Structure 1
Amino acid sequence: MFAQYNAGAQSIGVCNGRDGNNLPSPQAVIDLYRNNGFARMRLYSPDPATLQALRGSNIELILDVPNLDLQALAADTSAATQWVQTNIRNYSFGVRFRYIAVGNEVDPNNGGTNQVSTASYTGLLGISYPPSNGAFRDNVRSFMDPIIRFLVNNGSPLLVNVYPYFSYIGDPVSIQLSYALFTAPGVVVRDPNNNLEYQNLFDALVDAHHAALGRAGGPNLDIVVSESG
């Protein structure tokens, strides 16, 4: 699931993973979205059948450039142009492209992911508590800072995968399960720097990203929660 997350209204979408067997047909998936009022979809790689089924659906789409394609597209401008032509322009009539995610959870400090990405994740935070102290890890600033500058200059949001689950399993002693599951009956965390109160971990993690963006030159950058669960 993902959502536009800023001071205004929030629109909810659902990620459409295509890995697996016995998957429903693309049209059945589109019908499921429409019947349940989901207005946005994330697709992790171009799937022609799904893109075709999206025509005329009015569903807004986040389309990923798969991580395996990043190096080739970064090294060859003509290949990047062809990717856009094949997967975007050929479907521009009838498909509502909202964002293009250039890779997913790319981290140059993890093996095999040595290209930049606009779909970040909470693992890039070195500090997340209290939320106002949020900061990116020192060893990712060299590639995150240029991304943030680019997004600021182009008026684009940062896509972030936010998973309270991983924070909880990493520290189940300090983090209440109800806090991670949106079921806490009252305030669990109060940020001592600004007195903001948090009843769920999700909001705290998003605010930690906002604080980290502020320290990296993007204090007013919008965040799109591109994946959660």
Structure 2
Amino acid sequence: MTTQGFAPVLAVALLLAAFPAAVQSIGVCYGVIGNNLPAASDVVKLYKSKGIDSMRIYFPRSDILQALTGSNIALTMDVANENLAAFAADATAAAAWVKQNVQAYPGVSFRYIAVGNEVTGDDTGNILPAMKNLNAALAAAGLGGVGVSTSVSQGVIANSYPPSNGVFNDDYMFDIVEYLASTGAPLLVNVYPYFAYVGDTKDISLNYATFQPGTTVTDDGSGLIYTSLFDAMVDSFYAALEDAGAPDVGVVVSETGWPSAGGFGASVSNAQTYNQKLISHVQGGTPKRPGVALETYVFAMFNENQKTGAETERHFGLFNPNKSPSYKIRFH
């Protein structure tokens, strides 16, 4: 399918200039599904005190955006999944959202707008038209340097093992990455070795899932050698992008993490090991993109006591709601 409505050349140039060549530190996702979390102003202070220079939020919230003003923390902000249909169908709705949530906060360092998070079903057809309308609205507002993408799960990859076999399993992804290739924005991907590990402990060792030595896997298709499941999962996305004819589209890990309690393999020790090793590991890239720092966001800043689903969902936080660390962690 051909895509239309690409950003003007100038906007593309501004967009490319806006993306960092290297990651200065790790980003952290700021979820708010809890009734005991600190005020947004205190959260921003905590980010700054720990040297965390990038944040992801899952929908606009005025108190968070106000607290971020002047902070120089780079922000990835999601468009909530429930808004996609309206933004896909109506360019004025997308423009109103940009005006209210982006233009109104000139002191916030917006990096990316994620048009939906792990969208499934019929809503996947709304992602690309919503992205186009939001890109047009940002360009019209003089904000063409803000990247517009979508955040996807490993579920969009049909064959992720070995990594060189990675291909997208739905046509809508081919259209999206073709569009990303035209704008210069990266694909945002959520990568969770934890869930892969607990789903297949027979074939996946804990050490391999948590960046510890002991397992070496050779990809017969590429000849590349893997010592961590994270790298293998990320490289399956690079392979899928190449297969889709978009080898120059970058990858940003928009979520990854490990729970510290609540289920099999979820412990303070495993969470600390995974996240601490992750922070140092991503600076060196992956076997398929060695030496290229991989922009990565840890999920999540806090344990969120109102999250639904498995008990582990409430234990991904690096910090407790009282701002004490869940375990010792360094961000550089």
TM-score by length of 2: 0.62
Secondary structure of 2:211 counterpart: coil
Question: Which stretches in structure 2 are left out of the alignment for 5+ residues?
Answer: 1-20, 128-148, 258-332
CA offset at residue 52 of structure 1?
0.2
Which one of 200, 209, 226 corresponds to residue 237 of structure 2? 209
**Is the 2:208–2:214 contact (alpha carbons within 8 Å) kept by the matching residues of 1?**
no
Corresponding residue pairs, total: 215
Instruction: After superposition, give the CA deviation of every residue in 1:96-139 in whole Å (9 maximum; x if it has no partner).
Output: 00000000001226xx66532711111111101111111122xx
Secondary structure of 2:64 counterpart: helix
1:104 and 2:136 correspond: no
**Is the 1:44–1:63 contact (alpha carbons within 8 Å) kept by the matching residues of 2?**
yes
CA offset at residue 195 of structure 1?
2.1
**Is the 1:105–1:121 contact (alpha carbons within 8 Å) kept by the matching residues of 2?**
yes
Instruction: After superposition, give the CA deviation of every residue in 1:78-100 in whole Å (9 maximum; x if it has no partner).
Output: 11110000000001x21000000
Counterpart-to-counterpart distance in 1, 2:114 and 2:74: 14
| Matching of residues 18-167 of structure 1 within 5 Å | 18-91=32-105, 93-108=106-121, 115-116=126-127, 118-137=150-169, 140=170, 142-167=171-196
**Is the 2:207–2:214 contact (alpha carbons within 8 Å) kept by the matching residues of 1?**
no
Alignment-mate amino acid for residue 64 of structure 2: T
Aligned to 1:3: none
Counterpart-to-counterpart distance in 1, 2:36 and 2:173: 38
Aligned to 1:180: 209
Aligned to 2:26: 12
Which one of 247, 253, 263 corresponds to residue 225 of structure 1? 253
CA offset at residue 23 of structure 1?
1.0
Aligned to 1:194: 222
Aligned to 2:197: 168
- Return structure 1 stretches of 4+ with deviation > 6 angstroms: none
> What value does the CA root-mean-square deviation take over the aligned residues?
1.5
TM-score by length of 1: 0.89
CA offset at residue 20 of structure 1?
1.2
Q: Percent identity?
A: 52
Alignment-mate amino acid for residue 245 of structure 2: G
CA offset at residue 146 of structure 1?
0.9
Question: Which stretches in structure 1 are left out of the alignment for 5+ residues?
Answer: 1-7
Greater strand share, structure number: 1
